[in-house]
Structure 1
């Protein structure tokens, strides 16, 4: 079969399948965001200097460009279910814009040209005004939708988990114009009993034509479990002439998802079930810049502590100051993790044994360092060289990985991101020894939650909370 015949037979689409459905509200919000950022900086510079200098104009043009890219990347203009959700995304994206501007000013050695007072006021005022823009557009559209916009009668086929999630989410989302009038059961999906009062259960697939006509249905969501996926084409064939929209909602809740996303290649939708959030592009660059900058500043700031404990380790027990051990890193790449040596030099066991309370191998200085996590400070050099991150799943010994990989579900998925000096598990009390499989399972669960929900703001939150977790009794 020739390529031409192949494409004709399979009726490949030239139109993009995943379309960006930008609304007028989103365009208005984007324009107003840019306006308040520009006007606030112009106003502040005139207030301080009486004019806006060329360096401020250049910064403003660059800031607008970074805003457009970053806001799209962070989904700031998406339609959120709540004001708080939208403002949280706005805060993350605006924070990244400020960090990028500061980093560029540092690299180009132009930071001294700008008034710190103007920049601080501008950053704060712009965020407040953008939040106000979001609040006004959100509430304005909410009023418009309730009072003036016609609702689209919609029906859900299926009574499983994804159907319940759709029914609840669509009904509570002010941005969606659908009104779910009911759901129907399909085939042997009878095991999923519909227990919600609203929307009501209207019948089964045998009643589909009658329900569509009776309620004037204009949109149908097919939310069947995967074991009924073969019936989706039957539903489409049945409704193809009914002059309504047919939407397929794949039941992804059956999978253990890890930072999932949807994309498209040549008109074919691709659903990423497991994906690292930091493989390449803006997010990876952003995290790398923050890691290396903070690590370098921390090394310079903490250098007296590093020197003091280097001397203490050397003077109180024989052996090297720095302990190096092979660990599994990002995507399974091995690297040497650095620590201050906290144990007496001994012949290592075949299987690395976790330190426990009262462990005779630990030196007196080592016990203090492990309790306060000072022994982990040399990992700042791991961060600087790029083998680790400030925040991420803690790197376990290779033998521990081999032991737990077949005992804890999705254990090795922790390596889909760089290991970190601290992480979500650590600030939730899971530092040090994990005595049971349940504790290790909980640690892995938190690590995967971090990977699925990574953001610069989450990193900053974990770094802020880490000092409060350092004195946990779990660290030996």
Structure 2
């Protein structure tokens, strides 16, 4: 078990979240208490429970939606706060309907609590966001930096740091590098490595970033030792550009620094993963209930269209390579399926009903059962047939890494236009790149955006 994991809610950057969350929670809770007291003269048990649940549930909800992230401006920040508050209110409403005496609650009061609770949080958010911005601006001028190295990673780092840290230039790691063309004129090369100490003193540098390849480990150590006597922070940015990383992170095991090159989101963010699990299964259950009439009609149409079972269950790889049976409405006539073959345009195996439900993706609705059973997720890499995985596994780098999380009914690749037949290796390669991109940037907010975009991609021309 890791002793200290650098998670957004427990590291130093998380102090901003906790400060803004605490301020907003206190103001909104006091506002809601005032409204209830003004209405009844006392706070009934039902309202106390709702307030307590709201305080506790706001932490994972606001964290998942990055409500207080400093990269967002005032407008986007308020919209995210509104989205988080709306999700929180919807969740509390569901709890009240199931567990509390919802009929006897004052619905007009609940509406006022929702409106004024948000206004109280917005009133807290704006001044604190302004103070955070001022603090970030002050830190910017306290962190004058120089980057040791002139490799592509060094220039990429300089560009990314430009908005937050004033990078005055680069220091080449070898004398001959000074003569090389400078890719970006606004990031000058100040000199060579022997001049580093003098440059730090002359320009009053507060932070030195070392961006050099792993092959120069001995030189990196020498630079670090040379800077120990100077009043300067030293940050090493390892160059992993030649490696395929998966959900990489940096942490500490006891007193030892640890760089995680390959890790699943489930093990790195267990609380967020639990939130995704509850979100997936809850929404799957609601969807099955709402869509039951549609699924019943489709089942009848499939049964009438051709002889055979209504459902088709195909073995596919799930999380960590475990084989699962993925449910679908049968869209093809019964045939010999010992050799798995992707559906193609004008495929003779597809029935008329099957062509419609495949084109609209209705044939995949039974996968809600897989989601409810915990075998799949609503959003994730689409599961491929086992035979396809065996075929592509040794042809595409990190192909099987997509199975580090649960497969999904829809995914980033699908909403990015990479649906349907993958008749070339290049098409499958692009799909895998999107799957790995999803794993590396996974969040509940990303899942919500993908689910929102999915209906607009159902009539893709690439679906057969």
Q: What's the TM-score once normalised by structure 1's chain length?
A: 0.84
> How far apart, in 1, do the equivalents of 2:217 and 2:76 lie?
33
Counterpart for residue 190 of structure 1 = 177
Instruction: Report the CA distance between 1:20 and its aligned residue.
Output: 3.4
> How far apart, in 1, do the equivalents of 2:89 and 2:39 lie?
20
Instruction: Report the CA distance between 1:155 and its aligned residue.
Output: 2.1
Instruction: Report the CA distance between 1:345 and its aligned residue.
Output: 0.8
Report 1:228-243 matches (<5 A): 228-243=216-231
Render the CA deviation track for 1:289-348: whole Å, top value 9, x for unaligned: 222222122222222222222222222211111111100001101011111111111111
Structure 1 residues 213 and 436: CA distance shift in structure 2, 3 A: same
> How far apart, in 2, do the equivalents of 1:310 and 1:69 lie?
39
Render the CA deviation track for 1:150-190: whole Å, top value 9, x for unaligned: 634332211233322432333312xxxx5433220113893
Report 1:47-126 matches (<5 A): 51-68=42-59, 71=62, 79-80=70-71, 82-83=73-74, 90=81, 94=85, 97-98=88-89, 101-102=92-93, 104-105=95-96, 108-109=99-100, 111-112=102-103, 114-115=105-106, 118-119=109-110, 122-123=113-114, 126=117
Alignment partner for residue 167 of structure 2, among 180, 191, 195? 180
Structure 1 residues 22 and 142: CA distance shift in structure 2, 3 A: closer
Instruction: Report the CA distance between 1:384 and its aligned residue.
Output: 1.2
> How far apart, in 1, do the equivalents of 2:138 and 2:283 lie?
51
Q: Secondary structure at the match of 2:195?
A: helix
Gaps of 5+ in 2: none
Instruction: Report the CA distance between 1:73 and its aligned residue.
Output: 6.9
1:353 aligns with 2:344: no
Counterpart for residue 340 of structure 1 = 329
Do the aligned partners of 2:175 and 2:193 also contact (CA within 8 Å) in 1? no
Gaps of 5+ in 1: 1-14
1:227 aligns with 2:215: yes
Larger mean Cα displacement after TM superposition, 402-411 or 414-423: 402-411
Instruction: Report the CA distance between 1:409 and its aligned residue.
Output: 2.6
Instruction: Report the CA distance between 1:397 and its aligned residue.
Output: 0.6
Larger mean Cα displacement after TM superposition, 320-329 or 31-40: 31-40
Structure 1 residues 206 and 436: CA distance shift in structure 2, 3 A: same
Alignment partner for residue 404 of structure 1, among 381, 384, 392? 392
> How far apart, in 2, do the equivalents of 1:304 and 1:396 lie?
28
Q: Secondary structure at the match of 1:172?
A: coil
Instruction: Report the CA distance between 1:282 and its aligned residue.
Output: 1.9
Alignment partner for residue 284 of structure 2, among 270, 291, 295? 295
Alignment partner for residue 151 of structure 1, among 125, 135, 142? 142
RMSD: 3.3
Alignment partner for residue 139 of structure 1, among 130, 140, 155? 130
Instruction: Report the CA distance between 1:98 and its aligned residue.
Output: 4.5
> How far apart, in 2, do the equivalents of 1:313 and 1:193 lie?
66
Q: What's the TM-score once normalised by structure 2's chain length?
A: 0.86
Instruction: Report the CA distance between 1:47 and its aligned residue.
Output: 6.4
Counterpart for residue 8 of structure 1 = none
Do the aligned partners of 2:4 and 2:251 also contact (CA within 8 Å) in 1? no
Structure 1 residues 274 and 182: CA distance shift in structure 2, 3 A: same
Counterpart for residue 442 of structure 2 = 454
1:464 aligns with 2:455: no
Counterpart for residue 368 of structure 1 = 356
Render the CA deviation track for 1:120-175: whole Å, top value 9, x for unaligned: 554565456545544433333444665899634332211233322432333312xx
Counterpart for residue 271 of structure 1 = 259
1:161 aligns with 2:152: yes
Instruction: Report the CA distance between 1:274 and its aligned residue.
Output: 2.3
- Flag as ranges the 4+ runs of structure 1 deviating above 4 A: 15-19, 22-28, 46-51, 68-79, 81-100, 102-107, 109-129, 143-150
> How far apart, in 2, do the equivalents of 1:172 and 1:472 lie?
39
Alignment partner for residue 390 of structure 1, among 378, 394, 398? 378
> How far apart, in 2, do the equivalents of 1:437 and 1:20 lie?
42
Structure 1 residues 423 and 110: CA distance shift in structure 2, 3 A: farther
1:305 aligns with 2:294: yes
Render the CA deviation track for 1:90-137: whole Å, top value 9, x for unaligned: 567556645654565466355556555555554565456545544433
Larger mean Cα displacement after TM superposition, 453-462 or 82-91: 82-91
Q: How many residues align?
A: 457
> How far apart, in 1, do the equivalents of 2:114 and 2:155 lie?
42
> How far apart, in 1, do the equivalents of 2:187 and 2:425 lie?
42
Structure 1 residues 340 and 71: CA distance shift in structure 2, 3 A: closer
Counterpart for residue 9 of structure 1 = none
Do the aligned partners of 1:371 and 1:470 also contact (CA within 8 Å) in 2? yes
1:325 aligns with 2:323: no
